Amino acid sequence: MRIAFLINNAYGLGGTIRTTCTLAGQLAAEHDVQVVSVFRDRDEPDFAYDPRVRLHPLADLRAHSADNVRDDPRRRVPSAVFPPGDRRHGEYSALTDELIGRWLADPGADVLVGTRPGLNVHLARQAPRGVVRVAQEHLTLDTHSTRLVLALRRAYPGLDAVTTTTEGDAAVYRRRLPGLRVTAVPNGVPAPAAPPSDRTAPVVVAAGRLAEAKRYDDLIRAFAVVRAARPDWSLRLYGGGPQRAALAALVAELGLDEHVTLAGPVTPLEPELARASLLAATSTMESFGMTLVEAMRAGLPVVATDCPLGPREIVQDGVNGLLVPPRDVAAIAAALLSLIEDDERRAAMGRAALESSTAYDPARIAARHVRLFQALLDDRARPGFRARAALRAGVCRTLGAFLSVSDTAGAALRKAARRRQATSG
């Protein structure tokens, strides 16, 4: 099978890039795989791609490259394909329309996989009809703007399937974009090279972008309660982001400077996980929960907020971790203390976490993708495929148009309510 991934920038850092690198490398063991990067801005990628994966950039932005397109006048003309609702729209242009379209005219693949909404629209509008086209959702449908959802309703009926990272998001897709073929396939997480934790170090670890949705302020406040009961324990928080200064101020305000460390970003993270005894995640929204799986692969039980959408599909409450209500500082503190105070329970949950994390082994996840791709290829080979596909697309667009009226009206009402609130304030 010949498989091609279309990604914004395969050379940088990020969750989508990492999971694409992992999946492509696993698939390359048995299939012909290429990763097509719309942009290239550095000589070597930050992630190490399997040498069997062909990495192919379209728009070279390196100043020293003889092929660089930085001064191409077409970059000043906005894209006519990449939807404005995708937050990376400003990076796309008439030049990328041409480069992506030229590659899609003869992609040398049986299966094309897009990795963000704007690129999925390119697949739907520009890819050959004889090629299987799959859209990956690495965030969640409900986190996209109404404007983007409307664009996806128009374009996605031209695709063969959509994959989400959780069953919860798959259900949202089926409700809001009815008629599409939607399959949930979680991200693959390799086993760490380091030995798993022995869960004896008096350390709680957390990792992720220091952003509001992660609610690390709730975790720090909860840890103030933990510190009062168990001053021998500490919290290490890895990651960078816009909330760092505010979180540092909160640590100082609560007198936790000797117990809470804002350690900054670290790569690789796995050795740091192995030096801790449990992981805490306090988000109000997760598209998947990669850090949860990484911690479990290191043998750590997890304390996670039961937020939409990923944690409840990863954590078996009371088995490999504990789920608590989002924004409930007292519940977070109690859950942490329940594992800190009970060495045997913490160890048992850690062992269960290590065992259950094998479900996310890249080989298993790649096999699920291959089964989907093969089913889509087989469907194309059956008589009457074009008629069935046209009927399904028509149904999708009709239902989508009906729902779009509702979504547009709802967005207008919400905007008016916010305007009234601002005026009255």
The predicted-structure confidence for 196-222, as pLDDT tens digits, reads as follows 999 999 999 999 999 999 999 999 999
Q: What Cα–Cα distance (Å) separates residue 423 from each residue in 350, 416, 418, 419?
A: 52, 10, 9, 6
Which pLDDT score is estimated for 425?
Answer: 45
Which ranges in the chain are annotated with CATH 3.40.50.2000?
A: 2-188+365-412, 203-360
Helix (H) or strand (E) holding 87: none
Tell me the pLDDT band of 257, cut-offs 50, 70 and 90: very high
Distance CA 160, CA 129 (A): 10
The end-to-end CA distance of the chain, in Å, is: 60
Average the pLDDT over 242-265 and give the result. Answer: 97
pLDDT at 137 over 90: yes
Amino acid making up residue 126: Q
pLDDT attached to residue 393: 67
Q: Structure tokens of 238? A: 């890895």
- Say if residue 183's pLDDT is above 50: yes
Q: What is the pLDDT of residue 422?
A: 46
What rounded mean pLDDT belongs to the chain?
A: 93
| Whether 172 contacts 181, CB under 8 Å | no
CATH architecture of 203-360: 3-Layer(aba) Sandwich (3.40)
Closest by CA to 279, choosing from 362, 358, 192, 346, is 346
Coil, helix or strand at residue 2:
strand
> Which strands make up the sheet holding 234-238, listed edge to edge?
260-262, 234-238, 203-207, 278-281, 302-305, 321-324
Contact 162, 134 (CB under 8 A): yes
The reported pLDDT for the residue numbered 42 is 95
Dist. CA 133–CA 111, nearest whole Å: 6
Task: Please give the single-letter amino acid code of residue 86.
Answer: D
Q: Can you tell me the mean pLDDT for 340-351?
A: 98
Query: Is pLDDT of 92 > 80?
Result: yes
pLDDT range class, residue 407, cuts 50, 70, 90: low
Task: Say if residue 360's pLDDT is above 90.
Answer: yes
> What are 84's two structure tokens?
């404005």
Global confidence as pTM: 0.89
Q: Is the pLDDT of residue 344 over 80?
A: yes
Q: What is the largest CA-CA distance in the chain?
A: 71
Report the share of the chain in percent with pLDDT over 90: 87
Q: In the predicted model, is pLDDT for residue 357 greater than 90?
A: yes
pLDDT at residue number 382: 83
Question: 380 pLDDT band (50/70/90 cuts)?
Answer: confident
Residues 6+ apart with CB under 8 A from 109: 2, 3, 4, 32, 34, 131
SS3 311: helix
CATH of domain 2-188+365-412: 3.40.50.2000
Question: Above 60 in pLDDT, residue 103?
Answer: yes
What gap in Å lies between CA 198 and CA 201, rounded to an integer?
8
